[in-house]
Every structure is written in structure tokens, then in C-alpha cells.
Structure 1
């Protein structure tokens, strides 16, 4: 079974390209996997460096988040971003237990932004 069931893409590739010898395909597969491993290692090192230097919240570090944004919980930030209207509850769950239940009013959260 194809990954995305794009048989048309497979037919197009086979029709418009020449077959690659197996040894050459294996060589390039090995080269690409080494390149991918190096790239992934560098990305991991960059993330560790950013956390170590205190820039793990890059939006806060570079001034894209205001103090009002930082005062809101992540759930309230997402609700504002999704433009949720009305009132409701924000429920925090840890494992299988309810930790906290906070009332949510979209008008109060949206007033902070405006």
C-alpha cells in the first residue's frame, strides 16, 4: 500500500525518469541519511543552546509578547488566538485527575488585547 495512495505520482515518475542502478541508489541513500543525522544533531544543539542562554521563549526574548500576553495562561492565549466568543470553563487535567477549573470570559481576555 502506498504511503499516500498517490499512484499517479509513481506512474509519472516512472514514465519521466530513468531507472537508477541499485548500488548508486544505496550510495545516495547512505549519504542522505548521514546528512540528515548531521542536520538533526545541529538542530538539537541549537535548541539546547537557546534554552541554556535563556532564549527558549523567543517571542518573549525578542519583544513580540507583551506583558498582557505573558499574564494570560496558555489556554487563554489560545482562546484569544482562536477568537472564542462567550463564556465557559478552562479545565486543567494532570493524568486522569482534574487539577483546576477556572471560569473563562472571552470579553475580559479580548479587552486585554485591545
Structure 2
């Protein structure tokens, strides 16, 4: 009741009208049980995340990545037919079609030839 955020008055009235009154000792006991259940769930979640990090299935993400957060989510979730809209402040900047970018990358031949190798091949062909 004296928490960080106060519940809006209309929600409080709505709940009070539709529920029966509860004795104070029963309410305290229920609050204790709920807090124990919360602590148990939080501890198990912490243990599960520690286990995932130990097994290597959960890794720390570097923020130095040059891709936007939207592109990272698209890659992580393996989404298809995605269009990203870039907004800065209240201004619309640009629209990105991820399908075109992916298809352009797959259409381009992937080579491991460096610029020096290309120059050498060009000299040999002349």
C-alpha cells in the first residue's frame, strides 16, 4: 500500500466492489505466502540463468555491434517479411526492407579473394 507507485483510485474501487472483505490475519498470511512464492521463483530463475551461462547457451552481447537493435532482434528471432522504420525524435527518417538486404547479400557471390589477389590475377591475365 505504501509502495513506490500508488494504484489508481478507480482500479482500487473496482477491485473492492467485486471482492469480499478478508480478515487482517488471513491477509497477512497470504502476503507472506505470496512473497515466499515470489522469492522461490526468482531464486530458481537466477539459478536457471546461471546454468545457461555455464553451459554456454547464454552469452554476453557486445554493444559495439554496428547494427541497430531492430536488426539484431530480426536476426535473433529469424523473422521474415520485416520492414524497419527509423524514427529519430518525432521525425521519420527512413524505411528499411530487410528482405531486400538479405536477398542482396545472398545473390552476391561470396569470395575470399582480397584486393591484392585480384590485382595479381589481373596482372597474370594481361
* Class of the TM-score when normalised by the shorter of the 2 chains: 0.5 to 0.7
1:13-28 to 2 correspondences below 5 Å: 13-28=15-30
* Unmatched segments (≥5 aa) in structure 2: 75-83, 88-94, 104-126
Instruction: Flag the structure with larger Rg.
Output: 2
Q: Unmatched 5+ residue regions in structure 1?
A: 58-72, 86-105
From 30, 33, 36, the equivalent of 2:32 is: 30
Give runs of ≥4 in structure 1 deviating > 6 Å: none
User: Higher strand proportion, which one?
Assistant: 1
Q: TM-score, normalised by structure 2?
A: 0.48
Matches within 5 A, 1:57-76: 57=59, 74-76=65-67
Instruction: Kindly indicate whether residue 54 of structure 2 is the aligned counterpart of residue 40 of structure 1.
Output: no
Residues in 2 aligned to 1:17 and 1:44: alpha-carbon distance in whole angstroms = 35
Relative distance call for 1:24 and 1:75 in structure 2 (3 A) is farther
